[in-house]
Chains A and B, each alone.
Chain A
Amino acid sequence: MKLYLSIDDTDDIESKGTGEIAEEIAEIIDENKIGKISAVTRHQLYIHDDIPYTSHNSSMCFEIDEVNEKDYDLIISLAENHLKKESSKLSDPGLCICDINKIDSKLLIEYGFKAKSEVLTKEYAYALAENQNIFLKEYGGTGDGIIGALAGIGLRLSGNDGRFKGKHKIKNGKYELEYLINNFKMDKIYDITTEKYLKNNSINLEGKIKTVLLDGKRVLPVFNENGNYYNCTKQQLRKY
């Protein structure tokens, strides 16, 4: 089985972040050797005054591949135990887990992008989850986190949304594209100026090196200035 796991609305201003909790759940699954986990992506949802998010309205998602069917319930149990333990008492946590080979991904992707531009309801999210036999559950507060948790799965599934949590530890300097792809967790390098993937170029890296989910791959976005390529700034990465 290949599962996607997403969480949302687990934090408040002073508590541990949703990204950290997602990463910890991934680590627990990894430690139990019940699936091959991927990196966590952060997905921006709709910014609207009617949505009671804490400060940014984003959800976190990761993949769990090579899961034995007998471990499915264990994964749910480990994830919900950790979520219950680590979520802020002031939050409205939601957890979503689904087997991507048993769902209509088009419906989930459509829902994910809707959650970036519309105010959605819990009823709508639960109806879609039930229809697709997806695990979707709330853990206190208003439980509104289920809306974003389900959206996180759809957006990750789209392959074209979100930034990967964390940054690459690479010293400032000039690197060949091939060296970066062979030695760091990045599949491709994308020029945001021409909107094309680079093939044989040198890249100047400086500051925080962040990757995004593009065309289903982990991609390093770069920009061209006077013929030289540089990794994108946080301002430039904001749209992902």
Chain B
Amino acid sequence: MFEYINDHKIFKYGLNNYEMSRIAAKNCINFKADHEYEQVDSELISCYNCIYRRWKSKTIECMKNASKLI
């Protein structure tokens, strides 16, 4: 779901792949919902709704220091 690019943990599926975003979050022990007004997916458990994601121009980056890729 994610790949490391220059030490940044980058979501491989871009800004609009809600299905993959939900699957990734369901498999992540670090998921934590962002404030309600910053959520963009109706399904709560989604990387797009996670407080540890950082929006980038073409995808999101996971800012949580995960020890391994999911």
Q: Do A and B come from one complex?
A: yes
Query: Interface of A with B (CB < 8 Å)?
Result: 13, 17, 19-20, 42, 47-49, 53-58, 163, 165-167, 207-208, 233-235, 237-238
A235 touches B42 (CB 8 A): yes
B35 touches A19 (CB 8 A): yes
Distance between Cα atoms of A53 and B39 in the complex (Å): 16
Q: List 26 A-B contacts (CB under 8 A).
A: A13-B51, A13-B52, A17-B35, A17-B37, A19-B35, A19-B37, A19-B38, A42-B38, A47-B55, A47-B57, A48-B57, A53-B54, A55-B34, A55-B38, A55-B53, A55-B63, A56-B38, A57-B55, A166-B36, A166-B37, A207-B42, A208-B36, A208-B42, A234-B39, A234-B41, A238-B40
List chain A residues, Cβ under 8 A from B38.
Answer: 17, 19, 42, 55-56, 58
Interface size on B, residues (CB 8 A): 18
User: Known contacts A163-B37, A165-B37: does B56 contact A49 (CB below 8 Å)?
Assistant: yes
List chain A residues, Cβ under 8 A from B52.
Answer: 13, 55
Q: How far is the CB of A17 from chain B (nearest CB, A)?
A: 4
A47 touches B51 (CB 8 A): no
Is the CB of B13 closer than 8 A to any CB of chain A?
A: no
Is the CB of B18 closer than 8 A to any CB of chain A?
A: yes
The B contact surface, by secondary structure, is: loop
List chain B residues, Cβ under 8 A from A235.
Answer: 18, 40-42
Query: Interface of B with A (CB < 8 Å)?
Result: 18, 34-42, 51-57, 63
Nearest 8 CB-CB pairings of A with B = A17-B35, A238-B40, A233-B42, A55-B54, A234-B42, A165-B37, A47-B55, A42-B37
List chain B residues, Cβ under 8 A from A17.
Answer: 35, 37-38
Apart from A13-B52, A55-B55, A235-B40: 20 A-B pairs, beta carbons within 8 A: A17-B35, A19-B37, A20-B35, A47-B56, A47-B57, A48-B57, A49-B56, A55-B38, A55-B53, A56-B34, A58-B38, A208-B36, A208-B42, A234-B39, A234-B40, A234-B41, A234-B42, A235-B41, A237-B40, A238-B40
Distance between Cα atoms of A58 and B54 in the complex (Å): 12
